[in-house]
Each structure stands twice: as structure tokens, then as C-alpha cells.
């Protein structure tokens, strides 16, 4: 089973926007491409971390002078507080609905835009959450809920707006904790999609796609035909995840396959963050094992055919 086989397994998508009422929204009105953002909570405040790719546009650079920002090799980072707790809570509640996979969160034309895929079986739960916030003033607008064109179409469409890269690599299966999920995936035709934004303790939340039946437990729940929500532990993934989150590297998608000797991971992310992600990957490999355990299958720009060769 590969990515093409699960293209439309999550058969619905949702998009909505809200006005964040902060000055960086103005920057996104004149910037030609969407600006990737992370919505964070430090226990006291909700805030946005925005990552603006460097540009030669003089209008953009003049406006950057109005912000406090951190200067990195390929981008600027701007951090600003959010003044609406409701907007943060909305994202949090949606993330707790089974099958929800956030695709991207961007600043576009002065608005913060959220996109996610989900199973149509959970339309009512999604609607219930959106309705609570829709009746409140100045929380969300421009809601669209439609059948999904599929993972490949959505990735290709984003690649038209902002250039994406693909990294596919293998690590030894021996670094993974022996558990039912990895054993199942090793012995059955399956593929998993990691929900990078969410975890329980040190466990990852991911969706396992398979044509076979999985045994349900506290860590495995059937959410639709051929789709299971699972929680797993993996020290390598955890270390890379934490470092990438600290660096503000948004992973659009992360897919996992397992065979008898190795775990294959395919990650899709913005082209200007790929070098940073690779440094993190190799650094954590050496930190955990004292050597490089990563074997690269593919690094390059996203192309329509890429899922047929990895």
C-alpha cells in the first residue's frame, strides 16, 4: 500500500478563516505567497509564530522594519500574541475529533486560514464545534466544507502557491519500541499518516490505513472502514519532532511504512526549510545512537510523479 492507495480515504475537507487582528496580518496582505504560522500556547498566552521567506521585494522589506523579528538564513521569524482565546480553543477542539488531519495554517490576505481533511463520518461532530464559534462575533468566517479531491491534488495545489520539497528516508526498525502497531504494519499491507501536531505523553497520534482488521485497544481505535487511530512510541521520531517544532518547521504531511528491517518515512515541507530539517534529522541520529542511521531514498522538489517512485 502506498500514498496513492489512500488518496481519498479521508473523503472530506474543511477550510475557514478568521481575522487575527494583529499587525502581521497586514504583512500577509502585500506578501505574494501564504505565510506559514504556528499557533502556540505557553501556559499563559496564546501567540502566533510566523515564518516569512526572504524576498527581494522592497515593499516587504520596508514593512519588516515595523516588526521585531529574528533573522535566519532563508526566512524571518515574527512572534505576536493572539488576543482571542476562542480562536486558539477552536483549533484545539477540532484536533480532538477523530480523523481530523490539519493540512496547513497560513496567513493569507490579512486572514489566518486553516485547512484540514477528515472522514465524512465525523461531519456532525465538526459541524457542532464550528457552530459554537460561528455564532460568536469575530471568531470565524468563510467556512467551506466539501468532498476532498484527495491528498495528491491538495499537495499539488499547495505547491502551486508555495514551493514544496519531499524527503523520503529509512531508519532501522530496531530503534522503534516493539508494539502491536509496528508489528501489524510489518505483517500487513498498510501505511500510516502521522498527526504531527498532537501527542499524548511521548506517544504519537497517527492514522493507520489498511484493508485488514486491527485489534482495538486503549491505543488503537477504528474510526472508519480501513482507518484506525493509533498511538505509538518512537524515540527517533519524538526527538526529531521536538526539534522541528522548536525550530518552527511545519511538516505538511508525514507518512510511514514498515517492513521487516526498517521504517520508511516520507515528509513534505516547504523548500526553504528542508536543509534545516535534514540537519535536525542527522543530529538526532548521532545524538541517539552515536552514528548516522538514516538512509535517504529521495530529496527533491515535489513533482506529480513523486509518490510513484518512493
Asked if residues 266 and 168 have their Cβ atoms less than 8 Å apart, the reply is yes
Predicted model pTM: 0.89
Confidence of residue 170 (pLDDT cuts 50, 70, 90): very high
Model confidence pLDDT, tens digit, residues 275-286: 999 999 999 999
Among 10-24, 73-87, 283-297, the range of highest mean pLDDT: 283-297
Confidence of residue 307 (pLDDT cuts 50, 70, 90): confident
Q: Comparing 1 with 309, which gets the higher pLDDT?
A: 1
Position 200 pLDDT exceeds 70: no
pLDDT at 174: 86
Assign 252 to helix, strand or coil.
strand
Model confidence pLDDT, tens digit, residues 140-163: 889 999 999 999 999 998 898 889
Position 198 pLDDT exceeds 50: no
Count Cβ atoms below 10 Å from residue 27 Cβ, excluding itself.
Answer: 22
What the block records as the C-alpha cell of 235 is: 524515540
Position 30 pLDDT exceeds 70: yes
Q: Is residue 260 exposed (0-12), middle (13-18) or buried (19+ Cβ within 10 Å)?
A: exposed
Find the mean pLDDT for residues 117-146: 92
pLDDT at 197: 52
Concatenate the DSSP letters of all residues of 19-48 into one string. ---STHHHHHHH-SS-EEEEEEE-SS-EEE
What the block records as the C-alpha cell of 305 is: 510523479
Asked if residues 155 and 164 have their Cβ atoms less than 8 Å apart, the reply is yes
List Cα–Cα distances, 278 to 38, 170, 220, 244, 258, in angstroms.
20, 13, 31, 10, 21
Model confidence pLDDT, tens digit, residues 209-250: 999 999 999 999 999 999 999 998 888 888 998 899 888 888
For the ranges 17-26, 88-97, 130-139, 183-192, the lowest mean pLDDT is seen at 17-26
How far is it, in rounded angstroms, from Cα 247 to Cα 277? 9
List Cα–Cα distances, 122 to 12, 141, 194, 257, in angstroms.
9, 20, 19, 26
Asked if residues 10 and 99 have their Cβ atoms less than 8 Å apart, the reply is yes
Q: CA angle 269-190-8, nearest 5°?
A: 60
pLDDT at 212: 96
Asked if residues 205 and 219 have their Cβ atoms less than 8 Å apart, the reply is no
H or E stretch covering 193: strand 190-200
289: Cβ contacts below 8 Å, ≥ 6 apart: 175
108: Cβ contacts below 8 Å, ≥ 6 apart: 17, 28, 34, 35
How far is it, in rounded angstroms, from Cα 52 to Cα 86? 25
Model confidence pLDDT, tens digit, residues 68-90: 899 988 888 999 887 677 878 89
Assign 274 to helix, strand or coil.
helix
pLDDT at 97: 93
User: Strands of 75-81's sheet, edge to edge?
Assistant: 69-71, 75-81, 46-53, 35-41, 101-108, 111-118, 12-18, 141-147
Position 29 pLDDT exceeds 90: no
pLDDT at 196: 62
Q: Comparing 117 with 109, which gets the higher pLDDT?
A: 117
Confidence of residue 12 (pLDDT cuts 50, 70, 90): very high
Instruction: Report the chain's C-alpha Rg in angstroms.
Output: 19
How far is it, in rounded angstroms, from Cα 136 to Cα 128? 14
Q: How many residues in total does the chain contain?
A: 310
Position 36 pLDDT exceeds 90: no
What the block records as the C-alpha cell of 24 is: 502581521
What the block records as the C-alpha cell of 60 is: 516587504
Asked if residues 72 and 47 have their Cβ atoms less than 8 Å apart, the reply is no
Amino acid at each position: 500500500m502506498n500514498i496513492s492507495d489512500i488518496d481519498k480515504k479521508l473523503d472530506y475537507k474543511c477550510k475557514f478563516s478568521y481575522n487575527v487582528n494583529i499587525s502581521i496580518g497586514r504583512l500577509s496582505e502585500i506578501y505574494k505567497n501564504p505565510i506559514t504560522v504556528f499557533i502556540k500556547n505557553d501556559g499563559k498566552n496564546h501567540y502566533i509564530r510566523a515564518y516569512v521567506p526572504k524576498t527581494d521585494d522592497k515593499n516587504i522589506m520596508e514593512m519588516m522594519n515595523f516588526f521585531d523579528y529574528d533573522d535566519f538564513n532563508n526566512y524571518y521569524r515574527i512572534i505576536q500574541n493572539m488576543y482571542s482565546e476562542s480562536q486558539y480553543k477552536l483549533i484545539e477542539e477540532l484536533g480532538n475529533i477523530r480523523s481530523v488531519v490539519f493540512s496547513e495554517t497560513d496567513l493569507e490576505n490579512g486572514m489566518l486560514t486553516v485547512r484540514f481533511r477528515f472522514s465524512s463520518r465525523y461531519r456532525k461532530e465538526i459541524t457542532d464545534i464550528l457552530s459554537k464559534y460561528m455564532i460568536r462575533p469575530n471568531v470565524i468566517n468563510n467556512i467551506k466544507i466539501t468532498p476532498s479531491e484527495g491528498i495528491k491534488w491538495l499537495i499539488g495545489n499547495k505547491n502551486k502557491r508555495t514551493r514544496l520539497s519531499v524527503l523520503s528516508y529509512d531508519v532501522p526498525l530496531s530503534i522503534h519500541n516493539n508494539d502491536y502497531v509496528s508489528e501489524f504494519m510489518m505483517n500487513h499491507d498498510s501505511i500510516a499518516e502521522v498527526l504531527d501536531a498532537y501527542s499524548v505523553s511521548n506517544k504519537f497520534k497517527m492514522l493507520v490505513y489498511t484493508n485488514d482488521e486491527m485489534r482495538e485497544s486503549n491505543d488503537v481505535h477504528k474510526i472508519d472502514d480501513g482507518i484506525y487511530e493509533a498511538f505509538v512510541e518512537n524515540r527517533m521520531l519524538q526527538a526529531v519532532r521536538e526539534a522541528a517544532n522548536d525550530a518552527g518547521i511545519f511538516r505538511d504531511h508525514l507518512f510511514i511504512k514498515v517492513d521487516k528491517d526498517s521504517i520508511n518515512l516520507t515528509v513534505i515541507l516547504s523548500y526553504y526549510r528542508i536543509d534545516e530539517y535534514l540537519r535536525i534529522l542527522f543530529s538526532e541520529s548521532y545524538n541517539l545512537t552515536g552514528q548516522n542511521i538514516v538512509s535517504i531514498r529521495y530529496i527533491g522538489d515535489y513533482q506529480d510523479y513523486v509518490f510513484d517512485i518512493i
